[in-house]
Each structure stands twice: as C-alpha cells, then as structure tokens.
Amino acid sequence: MRHSGRAFRSGREMTKKIPKFKTRVTELFGIEYPIIQGGMSWVADHHLVVPVSEAGGLGVLGAGSMSPSQLHGEVAAVRAGTSKPFGVNVPLTRSDAPKLIRVCMDLEVKIVFTSAGNPAVFTPELKEKGITVVHVVSNVRQAVRAERAGVDAVVAEGFEAGGHIGREEIGTITLVPQVVDAVSIPVIAAGGIADARGFVAALALGAEGVQVGTRFAATVEANCSIYYKNAIVRAEDAATVVVTRSLLPTRVIRNALAEELLRAEQRGAQEPQLREILGEGRARMAIVDGELAEGLIEAGQSAGLVKSLRTVELVFQDFLEGYVKVLNRLQGLVERRSAR
C-alpha cells in the first residue's frame, strides 16, 4: 500500500509558497527538502519513516533498537509504503552492528547513517556497494576523520540533541560552522532544531540540511507511547538533563530515574554503581511502554519548542512555510536598517 499522506497535496496555494530547495544534501539523497528525520532508536520505524519520505524529506529507520531480522522487516515495510528515498541508521557501538550493516547491504539499502564508533570500519565496504554513507559527529576531529574515511556527508550534532550526545558538550550553533569550515563534504545540522527558525539558522551556519529528532518523535505517526509523546509536549525549556556522563552521556527529560542517576554521579559513583541503577532497557521502558518514572525519557532541549502533537505533514508545513516567513522577517530587518 502506498502512503497517501503527501505533504501539501491539499492546496496549490500552499505549494506556491513552498520554496524549491537545491543543496548538496537534497542532491545527494534525491529528496525535495533538506529535512532529515533522525534515525531514533525505539521511535523511528516504518510508521514514521514512510510519511517523512513521502512528504519530501528523508525518513531514516533507527536500527539501534532492532534485531537484524526486525530491520529486514522494517526495510520491507518502508518499501511497501513509499518508493521515495529513505535511510537506515546503525549505531556502530552495537555489538551486532556488522549484522545490521550486512542487512543494509543485502537489501541494497541506498543510504546508511552510521553513528558513534569508527566510520573507517564499514565505510569502504558500504561505498564499494554504491551506498551513500553519512556519519554522525559531535566535534571537528570526528568530522575530519569521517571525511577521511570516505563518507559522503556528516551530521554535526550539538549537545542540545536528544538521546546519546557528544562528550565535549559543544552546542549546535558553534559546532556546525566549525565543522563546515573543516570539511568539504556537505554538513547536516542536528540538535535543537524543531521549527523554521532553527531550520533557517542551521542553513545560515553553513549546513545544507537539518536532522530533526525530538520534533518527529512527538508526531501522530511515530510508533511510540502517547505518554512519551505527551512528556515531550509538556516539557519546558529546562526540562532535560544529561545523565550518565561517565558512561554514555544521554539527554533525557528529568524524572525520578534521571534524578537518581544525577545524585549518584554527584556522589562520585563509578561505572558499576551507575550500571546497577540504570539496569536494562530503560529507554524502551519510557519510549515504548510509557513508563515515565522508571524509564529514560530520551529527548532533546528542543522538546521545549514542541507545544503540540502534530502530524508529519503539519511539521513539514511549519518548517517550509515558516522558512519563507523567517526569511522575510530577516529581509525586513535589513531594509529597515538601510532606510535609516
């Protein structure tokens, strides 16, 4: 069944207002708009990927929470829903990352996003198979290393982002231009982008596309718990904290578990004690099962910008119509100044 929810199908007038984008990122992926939905573990399965790709962005499956056989099924489900481009995200820190990468190659997935880990390990083989490879980085050194490994683009993900984040805690507004200056491949900005203002800002910083996570997690289509989605919608500016800095820094919405982890870290708890508090499967508990006190509610600072649950179509509409409005506002600022 083809997904019918194409964005902007509803009005010729609306389409008129939507700019046509041409960046190295839209060219690389063969998409209409330089908007990529982050491959979020526990959130990004075909239910989200299909409408995003159908809307003209790039939907990305989050294989970080899938077994190889589940990934197999998810790729098939995306292909049944859309003929448009989509990607698969594989966190390289997973012990079975080689198997997930193998599934991508066997199924001739065209675009693979790798994150964490060393991009030099799989990039040459993926490239040999003609696959477009993108690596997620959180500092300039990683970006340069990824470019050297032969990736086609990097996602520069700032400290504002949801889920696992970089140890150096560099914010998106300073990270993106430094990565842009350091590499010659296209850069996709991520972390803290949830509306047209962030979209325009990221492009102003030199990015040629944006990767958006938290905003897409709080959509009607995302196949995760409504309690988790509502936690994002309810979240205010200071709702998120970074826990488990000494293990794997992770941005979550503050709850009883996050408080307990923070207290333990302040007491100087070491890895074994933190692991004991953390236990197993906490992200799944919050995101899939909606256990908001016991689970890790992974989300970015951009949760503060997410004020309602929206359809994917409306998120695209907000970004694209908003893009024009923001540009007009910026233009107005210049004109007012020069008229003085």
C-beta nearest to ligand FMN: residue: 213
Which segment (103-111, 186-194, 270-278, 318-326) binds ligand FMN by CB under 6 A? 186-194
The least distance separating ligand FMN from the CB of residue 252, rounded to whole angstroms, comes to: 9
Q: What are phi and psi of 243, to 5 degrees?
A: -110, 170
Site for ligand FMN in 106-125 (CB under 6 A): 115
The least distance separating ligand FMN from the CB of residue 106, rounded to whole angstroms, comes to: 21
The least distance separating ligand FMN from the CB of residue 322, rounded to whole angstroms, comes to: 16
Which segment (50-58, 200-208, 213-221, 330-338) binds ligand FMN by CB under 6 A? 213-221
- # chain residues binding ligand FMN, by CB under 6 A: 31
Give the per-residue contact string, 249-288, with ligand FMN (x = CB under 6 A; - = no).
Answer: --------------------------------------x-
Dist. CA 241–CA 220, nearest whole Å: 25
Residue 195 interacts with ligand FMN (CB under 6 A): yes or no: no
Give residues with Cβ within 8 angstroms of 308, minimum separation 6: 233
Which segment (7-15, 80-88, 179-187, 292-300) binds ligand FMN by CB under 6 A? 292-300
Strand partners, 188: 155, 209
The least distance separating ligand FMN from the CB of residue 21, rounded to whole angstroms, comes to: 19
Which segment (10-18, 47-55, 102-110, 293-301) binds ligand FMN by CB under 6 A? 293-301
Dist. CA 200–CA 216, nearest whole Å: 18
The least distance separating ligand FMN from the CB of residue 299, rounded to whole angstroms, comes to: 5
- Catalog residues that contact ligand FMN under the rule CB under 6 A: 38-41, 43, 62, 64, 89, 91, 115, 136, 157, 160-163, 190-193, 211-215, 217, 287, 298-300, 302
